[in-house]
Chains A and B, each alone.
Chain A
Amino acid sequence: ETGVTQSPTHLIKTRGQQVTLRCSSQSGHNTVSWYQQALGQGPQFIFQYYREEENGRGNFPPRFSGLQFPNYSSELNVNALELDDSALYLCASSPRLDNEQFFGPGTRLTVL
């Protein structure tokens, strides 16, 4: 059974650019959550998708947007990148809304 995978592993962008991060959920999982982890901090919830619909959002501006596809993989899009967007972005999937979340290895985004 393949676990949660994320791509790319690392990414460097400049301020003002746009970025798309990808997450493949574990087989059989229909729920995906995204978290932002700044250096030295705990992860912060960005949003969650359940069966292709957004099911809750954290305190992040609208330039953070997402999608979930019919195969339950997901994308996180960030527009107009700011220096403070530099962080590790974690994706987690679960088989149901109320089940344990399984994390991917993350994407390290650096904004210069």
Chain B
Amino acid sequence: AQTVTQSQPEMSVQEAETVTLSCTYDTSESDYYLFWYKQPPSRQMILVIRQEAYKQQNATENRFSVNFQKAAKSFSLKISDSQLGDAAMYFCAYRPIQGAQKLVFGQGTRLTINP
């Protein structure tokens, strides 16, 4: 069974600084998707960034980028120029390509932005 592990329950960063959230996963599949979701206090899960395992190039979305290390099964999220609105729970998630398209989530990292 696939598992996703986020080893940092909480992180904090000064506004305008850069922070990196860690995620590791375990799977025997060679093709899959990885995601980072943001869940603010409003509870609605919002997709931040997505990475296809077959792509070697790391995904980037504005201030958000990932460091995808397939051999190490590592998928970290870097947030540059942190803003107050970035404060939220961040979840790393895995989704297989075959079978049910279910998302397997990690336990989450609570990110606090200090003004």
Contact = CB atoms under 8 A, between A and B. Distances in A.
**Interface size classification for chain B:** 20 to 34
Q: Is the interface of A mostly helix, strand, loop or mixed?
A: strand
Of the candidates B42, B43, B91, B99, the one having the most CB atoms from chain A within 10 angstroms of its own CB is B43
B102 A42 contact: no
B103 A105 contact: no
A43 B101 contact: no
Given A41-B108, A42-B108, A31 B103 contact: no
Interface in A38-56: 40-45, 48, 55-56
17 contacts: A31-B101, A40-B108, A42-B105, A42-B107, A42-B108, A43-B45, A45-B100, A45-B104, A48-B101, A58-B102, A98-B101, A100-B47, A100-B50, A102-B47, A103-B44, A105-B44, A106-B44
A97 B101 contact: yes
A105 B99 contact: no
B11 interface: no
Interface in B15-64: 42-47, 50
Nearest to A3: B44
Contacts, number: 59
Given A88-B43, A100-B47, A106-B44, A41 B107 contact: yes
Q: Main secondary structure on chain B at its contact with chain A?
A: loop
B47 A45 contact: no
B108 A45 contact: no
B47 to A, nearest CB: 6
Given A41-B107, A42-B91, A42-B107, A94 B101 contact: yes
